[in-house]
């Protein structure tokens, strides 16, 4: 219906194309950086071998993956390796999921907001802040998430030892916490219905835990103490989840409540109805029916399993833990398929949910509980330099070059992974500092504007002060003009606010721009209504704001000339009109015609329209005045 909100479509071709373009652009930059590093490294190695490797004191160990850097030696403990590679792969998978075409436009509205909706107000407030940052710059944020997550994943996989490997763990902690808070609303731990089955305490919190474990010195992994602590923590968590699962009144004991599916059956059945492969949806539907028919038994099994596994993990007895781990993997896989819908199926999935990370954690705990015997330290190929001279020598260009040349392929790969992260993070940081939204949102809602150069039809109308105004009287100024219903309840107040903000964005150039609206209501068109609208929207004090009206004949002529259709709809609807804005240059020529439908009218879309209008006004100001 013309003149009504249309909403921001995440699958909008403009948004999708811009997202794809940003990904390709940043991907190309990442590739160039990786290729450059590789080339530089290969060249340095060639040069160094040609120079006879006589670069002075050894400075090995500064780069990751080298022995002798104080982070342990020998092969990497199995538990740590499992976590590092497992979570590295998951981060890469998450990064690839972030590259889904609808992610840029849809994450804020389809992932962030729904995850927060049942949380307390303070959580919603915090998450809303993060969602707003995303929604102001969806393309930049979307692309940044892809490269940051792919970079962290690659970094974890490539850097096996040393401080760079531990730094990768810390990066996983930092980004994981950001995603856990803003993307998962703290994993829903403050919302009702929390359950281990559905993903408590939030998959990405487990990424952060794994990152923290990876960031520990490797020596910590060589003692069974870490395994006992990790399994003890997981055991306590499982017991807590068992208690929560058994807690009466949460709807998990009932297969059906009042003829409707109980909590678990309802969740599963909802999942099964989302678009996904038929095999999976039918599996979910079957399990949903089973859970509805046998709610008590299903919950009893879950409670017993969680409590049992928790107790075994707490015991720290390797023989028992081993069986519990295998059982947990089987049980977790079943839950992952039948309850969590593989995490990323059904909707705009961003990660595989909590089961795989959970399995990795307790498996790593078991491996850490039974560490392999310490291997003999690798022989130092070259003697170490005296410690006090070490840092000075490292910073010398020649030494740096030598260090780089002697670095392993893993080391260079780790640096390349960090560069990939920066490729995404740097533009995101710059965008986050920008308080105005990306105009791509406005283009996605309104469609790309049509660049024109045609004379604007003249008019003779009356402003909100009752003074006559003609288009000719505005000659010499750029005119941003739209059509507003003064008693409109939806779009028009938003468009008025956008025009006002566009004037603010123009800064000093604002004095050469006239913000004009023409009444678009055949009934409520008297000056009193334009004045009331101005007061309502805070436009009364905007010096270059004109809200024009006239007789029905005058208005009808202007509407016709500018292609505006205005009609009164029946049965309590507002007067309908198409939303349109035109940019008229100082010579009285229309230079842009842009749909002014404000879409959902959020802070980000309003800001986006204001930015777009101000950009068009600046372009029109820059065009020469013709006689």
Partner 1 sequence: MTRRAVLAGLLAVLVAGCGSQAASVAPPSIVVRTAPLATSLVTTQGAWAIAVMGGSASSDNNFWQLFVRPAGASRWSLVTPPAVADNGGLVAADGTGGTSLLVGFRPTQGLAFSPLAMSSDTGKNWTPGLLDAALADVPDALAVGASGRVLALLHDGSIEMAPTPATAAAGQWSRLTTLGALAASAPGRSCGLVALNAVSFGHNDIPMAAGSCLRRGVAGVFAESGGTWQAAGPALPAGFGGDQVQVLGLATPVLANTRGGDVALLLAGRDLLAAWWDGTRWTVSAPVPVAGGITGSGFGSGGSLWVLLGGGQAETIAGAGAPWRALPPAPAGTVTLAPGAGGGYDALAVSGSVLTVWRLASADWAKVQVIHVPIVYGSSS
Using the CB atoms, write b or e for 443-468: b if 16+ within 10 Å: bbbbeebeeeeeebeebebbbbeeee
- Report, in Å, the least distance between residue 123 CB and partner 1: 22
Instruction: State which of residues 258, 572, 624, 627 lies at the interface with partner 1 (CB under 8 A).
Output: 572
Q: Does 571 bind partner 1 (CB under 8 A)?
A: yes
- Report, in Å, the least distance between residue 488 CB and partner 1: 7
Using the rule CB under 8 A, give the single segment among 198-206, 290-298, 571-579, 603-611 that binds partner 1: 571-579
Instruction: State how far the Cα of 596 lies from the Cα of 607, in Å rounded to an integer.
Output: 13
User: In the chain, count of helices (H) and strands (E)?
Assistant: 23, 12
| Nearer CB in complex with partner 1: 470/565 | 565
Other CB atoms within 10 A of residue 619 CB: 15
> Cβ(489)–Cβ(3) under 8 Å?
no
Using the rule CB under 8 A, give the single segment among 169-177, 205-213, 415-423, 569-577 that binds partner 1: 569-577
Q: Does 529 bind partner 1 (CB under 8 A)?
A: yes
Q: Does 573 bind partner 1 (CB under 8 A)?
A: yes
Q: Does 576 bind partner 1 (CB under 8 A)?
A: yes
> Cβ(189)–Cβ(200) under 8 Å?
yes
> Cβ(438)–Cβ(143) under 8 Å?
no
Q: Does 465 bind partner 1 (CB under 8 A)?
A: no
- Report, in Å, the least distance between residue 6 CB and partner 1: 10
Q: Does 569 bind partner 1 (CB under 8 A)?
A: yes
How deeply is 55 buried, as exposed, middle or buried, from its count of CB atoms within 10 A (0-12, 13-18, 19+)?
Answer: middle
| Nearer CB in complex with partner 1: 1/429 | 1
Instruction: State which of residues 373, 397, 553, 570 lies at the interface with partner 1 (CB under 8 A).
Output: 570
User: Backbone phi, then psi, for 580, in 5-degree steps?
Assistant: -150, 140
Q: Does 532 bind partner 1 (CB under 8 A)?
A: yes
Q: Does 568 bind partner 1 (CB under 8 A)?
A: yes
568 to 83, 521, 571, 573: CA distances (angstroms):
64, 8, 10, 8
Instruction: State how far the Cα of 483 lies from the Cα of 547, in Å rounded to an integer.
Output: 9
Q: Does 350 bind partner 1 (CB under 8 A)?
A: no
Q: Does 270 bind partner 1 (CB under 8 A)?
A: no
Residues 473-502 within binding reach of partner 1 (CB under 8 A)? 487-490, 492-494
Total residues contacting partner 1 by CB under 8 A comes to 30
Other CB atoms within 10 A of residue 408 CB: 17
- Report, in Å, the least distance between residue 571 CB and partner 1: 5
Q: Does 118 bind partner 1 (CB under 8 A)?
A: no
Q: Does 1 bind partner 1 (CB under 8 A)?
A: yes
Q: Does 526 bind partner 1 (CB under 8 A)?
A: yes
| Residue 257 in tokens | 């409540």
Instruction: State how far the Cα of 193 lies from the Cα of 185, in Å rounded to an integer.
Output: 14
Helices 409-432 and 138-158 pack at an angle, to 10 degrees, of 160
Please give the residue ranges that form the binding site for partner 1 (CB under 8 A). Answer: 1, 4-5, 487-490, 492-494, 521-524, 526, 528-529, 531-532, 535-536, 568-576
């Amino acid at each position: 219906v013309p003149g009504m909100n249309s909403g921001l479509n995440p699958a909008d071709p403009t948004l999708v194309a811009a997202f794809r373009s940003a990904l390709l652009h940043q991907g190309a930059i990442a590739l160039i950086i990786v290729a450059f590093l590789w080339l530089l490294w290969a060249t340095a190695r060639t040069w160094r071998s040609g120079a006879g490797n006589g670069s002075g004191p050894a400075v090995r160990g500064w780069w990751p993956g080298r022995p002798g850097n104080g982070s342990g030696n020998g092969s990497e403990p199995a538990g740590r390796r499992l976590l590092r590679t497992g979570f590295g792969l998951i981060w890469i998978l998450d990064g690839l999921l972030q590259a889904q075409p609808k992610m840029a436009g849809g994450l804020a509205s389809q992932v962030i907001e729904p995850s927060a909706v049942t949380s307390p107000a303070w959580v919603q407030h915090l998450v809303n802040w993060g969602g707003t940052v995303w929604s102001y710059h969806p393309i930049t944020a979307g692309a940044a998430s892809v490269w940051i997550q792919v970079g962290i994943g690659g970094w974890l996989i490539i850097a096996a030892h040393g401080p760079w490997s531990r730094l990768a763990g810390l990066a996983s902690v930092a980004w994981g916490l950001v995603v856990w808070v803003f993307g998962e609303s703290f994993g829903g731990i403050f919302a009702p219905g929390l359950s281990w089955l559905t993903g408590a305490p939030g998959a990405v919190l487990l990424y952060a835990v794994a990152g923290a474990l990876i960031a520990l010195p490797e020596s910590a992994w060589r003692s069974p103490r870490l395994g006992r602590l990790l399994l003890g923590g997981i055991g306590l968590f499982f017991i807590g989840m068992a208690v929560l699962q058994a807690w009466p009144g949460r709807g998990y004991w009932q297969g059906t409540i009042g003829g409707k599916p109980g909590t678990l059956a309802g969740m599963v059945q909802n999942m099964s109805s989302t678009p996904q492969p038929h095999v999976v949806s039918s599996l979910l539907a079957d399990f949903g029916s089973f859970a509805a028919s046998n709610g008590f038994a299903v919950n009893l099994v879950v409670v017993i399993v969680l409590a049992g596994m928790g107790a075994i993990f707490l015991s720290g007895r390797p023989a028992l833990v081993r069986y519990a781990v295998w059982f947990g993997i089987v049980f977790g896989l079943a839950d992952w398929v039948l309850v969590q819908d593989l995490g990323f199926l059904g909707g705009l999935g961003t990660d595989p949910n909590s089961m795989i990370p959970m399995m990795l954690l307790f498996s790593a705990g078991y491996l850490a509980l039974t560490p392999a015997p310490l291997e003999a330290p690798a022989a130092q190929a070259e003697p170490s330099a005296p410690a006090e001279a070490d840092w000075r020598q490292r910073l010398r260009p020649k030494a740096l070059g030598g260090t780089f040349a002697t670095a392993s392929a893993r080391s260079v790969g780790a640096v390349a992974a960090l560069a990939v992260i920066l490729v995404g993070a740097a533009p995101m940081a710059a965008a986050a500092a920008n308080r105005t939204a990306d105009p791509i949102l406005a283009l996605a809602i309104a469609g790309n504007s049509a660049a024109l150069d045609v004379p604007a039809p003249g008019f003779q109308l009356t402003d909100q002060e009752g003074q006559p105004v003609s288009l000719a009287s505005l000659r010499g100024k750029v005119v941003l003009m739209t059509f507003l219903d003064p008693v409109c309840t939806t779009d028009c107040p938003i468009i008025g606010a956008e025009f006002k903000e566009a004037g603010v964005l123009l800064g000093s150039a604002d004095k050469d721009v006239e913000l004009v609206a023409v009444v678009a209501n055949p009934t409520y068109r008297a000056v009193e209504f334009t004045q009331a609208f101005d007061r309502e929207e805070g436009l009364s004090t905007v010096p270059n704001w004109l809200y024009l009206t006239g007789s029905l004949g005058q208005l009808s002529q202007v509407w016709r000339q500018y292609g505006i259709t205005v009609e009164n709809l029946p049965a309590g609807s507002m007067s309908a009109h198409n939303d349109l804005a035109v940019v008229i240059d100082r010579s009285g020529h229309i230079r842009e015609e842009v749909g002014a439908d404000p879409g959902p009218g959020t802070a980000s879309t309003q800001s986006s329209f204001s930015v777009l209008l101000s950009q068009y006004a600046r372009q029109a100001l820059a065009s020469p005045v013709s006689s």
